[in-house]
């Protein structure tokens, strides 16, 4: 979202939809979009997750109850939003595109659900929509976000802190030990402080 502000042109007068607003990426994007002054919408999968996301979003949509694109169009009186931040991937691409206003843009920064979306490309070019990719960012982006965090303008949302050896455990109620994050039973980041953990371990899916 920091990249969206600098290079994709999200303005205070515009609207943004943040997908997966209960995780670390989603919470960060919510806070940044709200700080910009945009009208913010978000998707989550449960009421208890929506409560936290609602601190920054004007409307939070439970995508397990209603197709989120239909709800976005309804909430915006048929217009759609100016920007969608989608890090989910193939499972949401078509709905993300259909959530956009004419001339809107979808910024993609991940593919959690897969990287091979099946979309109707006419829904892009017939409405002058754009799909833009952004990576993790560069040094300038990290420094800018770091300054926001240091000033307390953006705050990491931590759901729980676990010993590293417990991160692979499934949360209570899960039939299979898919891991806390894979089971989607968290709202925010799951951290595991332990001396000696290398950054490569964190980025390979351990955390």
11-27 pLDDT, tens digit each: 999 999 999 988 888 98
**Are residues 104 and 8 both part of a single domain?**
yes
**Are residues 55 and 89 both part of a single domain?**
yes
Q: What's the pLDDT at 23?
A: 83
* CATH code of the domain covering residue 19: 3.40.50.720
Mention every residue, 6+ apart, whose C-beta is less than 8 A from residue 177.
168, 169, 170
pLDDT digits (tens, 9 = 90+) for 160-202: 777 777 766 655 554 444 444 444 555 666 677 655 544 444 4
149 belongs to a structural domain = no
What pTM value is reported for the model?
Answer: 0.78
141 belongs to a structural domain = no
Q: Which domain holds residue 201?
A: 158-206
Determine the 3-state secondary structure of 2 from DSSP.
Answer: helix
Q: What's the pLDDT at 111?
A: 94
* pLDDT of 120 over the 50 cut: yes
| Residue that finishes a domain, picked among 133, 149, 178 | 133
Counted domains in the chain: 2
pLDDT digits (tens, 9 = 90+) for 47-105: 877 888 888 998 999 999 999 999 999 999 999 999 999 999 999 999 999 999 999 99
| Residue that finishes a domain, picked among 90, 117, 133 | 133
Q: What's the pLDDT at 178?
A: 45
Q: How far apart are CA 157 and CA 187, in angstroms?
A: 8
152 belongs to a structural domain = no
**Are residues 40 and 90 both part of a single domain?**
yes
Q: What's the pLDDT at 153?
A: 87
Q: How far apart are CA 61 and CA 63, in angstroms?
A: 6
Whether 114 contacts 99, CB under 8 Å: no
**Are residues 113 and 14 both part of a single domain?**
yes
Q: What's the pLDDT at 4?
A: 53
**Are residues 32 and 75 both part of a single domain?**
yes
Q: How far apart are CA 192 and CA 172, in angstroms?
A: 18
145 belongs to a structural domain = no
* pLDDT of 141 over the 80 cut: yes
Determine the 3-state secondary structure of 96 from DSSP.
Answer: helix
Q: What's the pLDDT at 169?
A: 64
**Are residues 31 and 129 both part of a single domain?**
yes
**Are residues 28 and 123 both part of a single domain?**
yes
**Are residues 165 and 123 both part of a single domain?**
no
Q: How confident is the model at residue 142 (pLDDT cuts 50, 70, 90)?
A: confident
* pLDDT of 206 over the 50 cut: no
Q: What's the pLDDT at 155?
A: 85
- Which is more confidently placed, 31 or 192? 31
**Are residues 14 and 75 both part of a single domain?**
yes
Q: What's the pLDDT at 82?
A: 98
Q: How far apart are CA 149 and CA 196, in angstroms?
A: 24
182 belongs to a structural domain = yes
């Amino acid at each position: 979202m920091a990249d969206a502000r600098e290079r994709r042109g999200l303005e205070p007068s515009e609207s943004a939809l943040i997908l997966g607003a209960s995780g670390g990426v989603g919470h960060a994007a919510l806070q940044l979009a709200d700080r910009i002054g945009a009208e913010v919408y978000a998707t989550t999968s449960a009421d208890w997750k929506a409560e936290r996301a609602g601190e920054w979003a004007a409307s939070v949509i439970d995508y397990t109850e209603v197709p989120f694109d239909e709800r976005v169009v309804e909430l915006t009186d048929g217009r759609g939003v100016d920007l969608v931040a989608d890090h989910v991937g193939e499972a949401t691409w078509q709905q993300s595109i259909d959530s956009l206003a004419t001339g809107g843009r979808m910024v993609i920064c991940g593919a959690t659900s897969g990287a091979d979306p099946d979309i109707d490309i006419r829904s892009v070019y017939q409405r002058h929509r754009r799909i833009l990719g952004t990576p993790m960012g560069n040094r300038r982006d990290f420094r800018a976000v770091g300054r926001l965090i240091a000033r307390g303008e953006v705050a990491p949302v931590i759901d729980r802190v676990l010993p590293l050896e417990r991160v692979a455990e499934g949360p209570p109620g899960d039939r299979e030990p898919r891991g806390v994050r894979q089971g989607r039973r968290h709202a925010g980041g799951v951290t595991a402080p332990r001396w000696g953990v290398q950054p490569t371990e964190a980025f390979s899916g351990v955390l």
